[in-house]
C-alpha cells in the first residue's frame, strides 16, 4: 500500500511517468490468464477505491482484433523491403543506421550513465524458457598448458543456452524465420544442421549496433500499475507516447517497448509474460524507419491476430522488413533512469556474437545517457 501511495503521488507530480505492467506469452492457457485477471481486479479494485485512481484499464485487457489472411498478405507486401538495399543485402533495416545516424546518436551521451537492459542468466530452467541454462564449472590445473609446479590454478566454465523463447534476453537474426519457404530479401530457407544458413544469419550484425534508442513506457502512458495480461499494443500507443513526451521517432531509431513484465508489482501478483504488439503496428514501424524493435516479451500479441500464424509480427518484421527483434529485455532500470534524467532517448549499443549461420544471439544491450 505504501508503494501504491508513493506511485500515485509520483504520477501526480510527473505526468510523463507511470507505473508498471505485465502480459502473457503464447502457450499460457486461458485458465491461467483468467486467474491472473481476477487477482488483478481484486487487488487493484481495493486500491482504486481507497486512492481514487483509475485502475479499470488493468482489469480489462484490450481484445486482439483479428486480421484476415488477405489483409495480412497485403500488409506484408506493403512493408516488404526486398531489393531495397540490393539483392544480396542481409542487414535489412539496420541499413537505416547510417554514419550520420550514429554520429547523431553519440550526442545522446550527456550524463555518462550506463544501464544494462539484459536479464540475469542463472543456473536452471526459468519460466518461459525452451530449455535450461547449463553451466559446467571447472577447476583446471596449470599443467594443461604445459609443465607447471602447481602453484597456479585456473577456473572456467562451459555454458549451453537455448536463448530463443520467452526468458533470455536475445536478438533474432533475419534467418530465424521463413514464410512459405522464403526469408528476408527473397532468400530461400535452407537452414539445416550443422551449418545453419549463412545468408541473413547473425553474422551480418558482426559490426555491432550503435544508434539512438527510444523508450516507450506503456504503463506510464496509460497511467496504470501494470497492463493486464493479454493486452495489445498498437500504433496508437506509439503516437500517444510521442504526443505525451514530445519525442519524435526518426529513421534509424530502435524502439524499446516497456510492459513492466519484470516489475515488482507484476511479480507480487504472479503475472506471467508480457503484453504483445499487434501486427498492424508493422505499417507504423515501416513508415517511421525503425531499425529494430525490442520489448520485454516475445514481441507478438497472444492470441494471434492472424489465424494459422502464431507470430505474425515476426513474419512482418523478420521476413518482410528485415527488422531484427530484441526480446525479453528488462526495462525496469531503464525506466527509472529515464525518469531521473527526464529523457526518453539515449545511445543504445548491442554487440551480437559473430556466429556463422546463427539464428540470433544472447545479448546485453547497454543504454547510455
Q: What does the alpha-carbon distance between residue 183 and residue 165 come to, in Å, rounded to a whole number?
A: 20
The predicted-structure confidence for 43-84, as pLDDT tens digits, reads as follows 333 233 322 223 323 323 456 899 999 999 999 999 999 999
Q: How far is CA 66 from CA 186, 200, 229, 277, 303, in A?
A: 27, 30, 18, 13, 9
List CB contacts of 344: < 8 A, sequence separation 6 or more.
Answer: 214, 215, 216, 217, 245, 247, 338
| pLDDT (average), residues 217-226 | 91
**Architecture of domain 2-121+165-368 in this structure:** 3-Layer(bba) Sandwich (3.50)
Give the contacts of 190 (CB within 8 A, at least 6 positions apart): 197, 199
Among 195-204, 269-278, 279-288, which is the least confidently predicted range? Answer: 269-278
More confident residue, 62 or 165: 165
Beta-carbon count within 10 A of 10 CB: 13
Cβ–Cβ < 8 Å for 251, 100: no
Place of cell 516479451: 297
The percentage of the chain sitting over the pLDDT mark of 70, rounded to a whole number, equals 83
Contact criterion met (CB below 8 Å) for 230 and 60 = no
Assess contact for 356 and 202: CB atoms under 8 A: no
**CA–CA gap between residue 363 and residue 92 (Å, rounded):** 19
pLDDT digits (tens, 9 = 90+) for 323-360: 999 999 999 999 999 999 999 999 999 999 999 999 99
How far is the C-alpha of 339 from the C-alpha of 249, rounded, in Å?
Answer: 18
227-245 residues labelled b (16+ CB within 10 A) or e (exposed): bbbbbbbbbebbeebbebb
Q: By the 8 A CB rule, do 303 and 326 touch?
A: no
Query: What distance in Å separates the CA atoms of residue 285 and residue 294, rounded to the nearest whole number?
Result: 12
- pLDDT score, position 18: 36
Close Cβ partners of 114 (under 8 Å, ≥ 6 residues apart): 366, 367, 368, 369
Rg from Cα positions in the chain: 21
Query: How far apart are the C-alpha atoms of 78 and 39, rounded to whole Å?
Result: 41
pLDDT, tens digit, 9 for 90 and up, residues 170-210 = 999 999 999 999 999 999 999 999 999 999 999 999 999 99
Give the model's pLDDT for residue 62: 56
Asked whether residue 31 carries a pLDDT value surpassing 50, the answer given is no
pLDDT of residue 293: 99
How high is the mean pLDDT of the chain? 85
C-beta of residue 69 within 8 angstroms of C-beta of residue 279: no
- The residue among 179, 206, 139 whose CA lies nearest residue 357 is 206
Indicate if the pLDDT at residue 157 is higher than 80.
yes
Lowest mean pLDDT among 4-13, 46-55, 82-91: 46-55
pLDDT band at 128 (very low <50, low <70, confident <90, very high): confident
Q: Are β-strands 114-116 and 366-368 bridged in parallel, bridged antiparallel, or unpaired?
A: antiparallel
Q: Which position has the higher pLDDT, 269 or 11?
A: 269
**Is residue 25 over pLDDT 60?**
no
Q: What is the pLDDT of residue 58?
A: 31
348 φ, ψ (degrees, to nearest 5) = -125, 130
Average pLDDT over residues 13-37: 34
Average pLDDT over residues 74-99: 98
> 260 or 323, which is more confident?
323
Residue 178 to residues 163, 174, 238, 247, 317: CA-CA distances in angstroms?
19, 9, 27, 34, 11
CA distances from 280 to 71, 79, 211, 311 (A): 10, 11, 25, 12
Q: Among residues 311, 22, 335, 314, which one has the least CA distance to residue 171?
A: 314
Amino acid at each position: 500500500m505504501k508503494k501504491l501511495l508513493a506511485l500515485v503521488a509520483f504520477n501526480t507530480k510527473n505526468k510523463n511517468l507511470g507505473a508498471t505492467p505485465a502480459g502473457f506469452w503464447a502457450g499460457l492457457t486461458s485458465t491461467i490468464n483468467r486467474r491472473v485477471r481476477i487477482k488483478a481486479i481484486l487487488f487493484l479494485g481495493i486500491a482504486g477505491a481507497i486512492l481514487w485512481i483509475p485502475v479499470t484499464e488493468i482489469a480489462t485487457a484490450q481484445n486482439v482484433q483479428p486480421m484476415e489472411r488477405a489483409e495480412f498478405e497485403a500488409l506484408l507486401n506493403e512493408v516488404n523491403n526486398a531489393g531495397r538495399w540490393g539483392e544480396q543485402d542481409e542487414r535489412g533495416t539496420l541499413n537505416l543506421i547510417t554514419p550520420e545516424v550514429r554520429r547523431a546518436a553519440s550526442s545522446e551521451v550527456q550524463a555518462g550513465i550506463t544501464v544494462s537492459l539484459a536479464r540475469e542468466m542463472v543456473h536452471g530452467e526459468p519460466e518461459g524458457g525452451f530449455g535450461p541454462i547449463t553451466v559446467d564449472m571447472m577447476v583446471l590445473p596449470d599443467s594443461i598448458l604445459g609443465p607447471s609446479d602447481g602453484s597456479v590454478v585456473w577456473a572456467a566454465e562451459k555454458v549451453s543456452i537455448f536463448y530463443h523463447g520467452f526468458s533470455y534476453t536475445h536478438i533474432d537474426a533475419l534467418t530465424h524465420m521463413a514464410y512459405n519457404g522464403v526469408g528476408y530479401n527473397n532468400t530461400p530457407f535452407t537452414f539445416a544442421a550443422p551449418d545453419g544458413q549463412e545468408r541473413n544469419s547473425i553474422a551480418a550484425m558482426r559490426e555491432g549496433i550503435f544508434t539512438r534508442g527510444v523508450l516507450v513506457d506503456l504503463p506510464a502512458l496509460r497511467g496504470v500499475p501494470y497492463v493486464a495480461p493479454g493486452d495489445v499494443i498498437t500504433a496508437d500507443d506509439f503516437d500517444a507516447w510521442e504526443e505525451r513526451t514530445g519525442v519524435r521517432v526518426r529513421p534509424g531509431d530502435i524502439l524499446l517497448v516497456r510492459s513492466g513484465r519484470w516489475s515488482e508489482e507484476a511479480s507480487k501478483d504472479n503475472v506471467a509474460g508480457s503484453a504483445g504488439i499487434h501486427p498492424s503496428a508493422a505499417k507504423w514501424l515501416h513508415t517511421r524507419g525503425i531499425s529494430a524493435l525490442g520489448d520485454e516479451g516475445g514481441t507478438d500479441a497472444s492470441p494471434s491476430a492472424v489465424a494459422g500464424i502464431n507470430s505474425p509480427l515476426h513474419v512482418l518484421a523478420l521476413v518482410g522488413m528485415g527488422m531484427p527483434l530484441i526480446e525479453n529485455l528488462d526495462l525496469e532500470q531503464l525506466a527509472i533512469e529515464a525518469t531521473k534524467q527526464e529523457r526518453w532517448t539515449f545511445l543504445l549499443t548491442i554487440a551480437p556474437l559473430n556466429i556463422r549461420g546463427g539464428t540470433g544471439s544472447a545479448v546485453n544491450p547497454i543504454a547510455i545517457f
